[in-house]
Structure 1
Amino acid sequence: MPKTDDIMLGRAKAMRSVQTGPEMRFWYQVRAKRFQNVKFARQVVIGPFIADFVARSHMLVVELDGDTHTDQARDARRTAWLEEQGYRVIRFANTDVMTNLEGVLQVLGDALVTRVDLIR
């Protein structure tokens, strides 16, 4: 019987192979240290959750939320748990990534600067 960790890693791997349009667009901007020379990973297992994007060096999680993403109570529990682990979580709507990518990247850049100041 597979362990929970193996199941989560399998799910994350499957999610990496099937990206949404907004995920592809965001990933293109941040992959390979393209954004402020910060390494991002996608679909990362953190405890009982799979985060969309993570900058581990800055303890920053980025979540992209679509129109069908409506479980705000679950999101709040997830965010609280991640914050207890030392992460900051920022969320962007898929529509913002598709229509205002420059604004999304500005907010992301500001968050990275803030996290560097906190981590040092």
Structure 2
Amino acid sequence: MTDAERKLWRILRGRQMEGLKFRRQHPFEDYILDFVCLEKKIVVELDGGQHQEQRVEDGVRTKVLEDAGFHVLRFWNHEVLQQSEAVTERIWQEATQKDPSSPLPSP
């Protein structure tokens, strides 16, 4: 586990974010997801320095996950290490936004 993964896991584990359960290194199809909240269908992926080939592969992976109904949030390792509050805020916003598939309230 990278330093960035360790730092983010300390924030997400133990239902510390809105009581949601995040899993670490969770298998899905042919992939291992860095972090996932199955209840909200949110995947959080951390990226280090990478080559063009890895970016293409990440794009395919994101498409597979989105086709399965997941919303994928990607952050660079340095963002987690240097701007963890902003990263946490973005994950929190995604986790607490209204489910787009839920019906609108009656007038």
Gaps of at least 5 residues in structure 1 are 1-18
Q: How does 1:90-101 map to 2 (within 5 A)?
A: 90-101=73-84
Q: Which structure shows the higher helix fraction?
A: 1
- Provide the residue aligned with 2:11 in structure 1: 29
Gaps of at least 5 residues in structure 2 are 103-107
1:72 shift after superposition: 1.1
In 2: Cα distance, 1:106 partner to 1:34 partner: 13
Aligned residues: 101
| Higher RCO (CA-CA < 8 Å; seq separation 6+) | 2
1:66 lines up with 2:48 in the alignment: yes
Please list the CA deviations of residues 4-37 of structure 1 after superposition, one character each: whole Å capped at 9, or x if unmatched. Answer: xxxxxxxxxxxxxxx1100000000010101121
Indicate the RMSD between aligned Cα atoms, in angstroms.
1.3
- Provide the residue aligned with 1:10 in structure 2: none
Superposition TM-score, scaled by structure 2 size: 0.88
Q: 1:37 to 1:21 in 2, by over 3 A?
A: same
- Provide the residue aligned with 2:2 in structure 1: 20
In 2: Cα distance, 1:63 partner to 1:30 partner: 13
Q: 1:78 to 1:111 in 2, by over 3 A?
A: same
Q: Secondary structure at the match of 1:108?
A: helix
Moved over 4 A (4+): none
Superposition TM-score, scaled by structure 1 size: 0.79
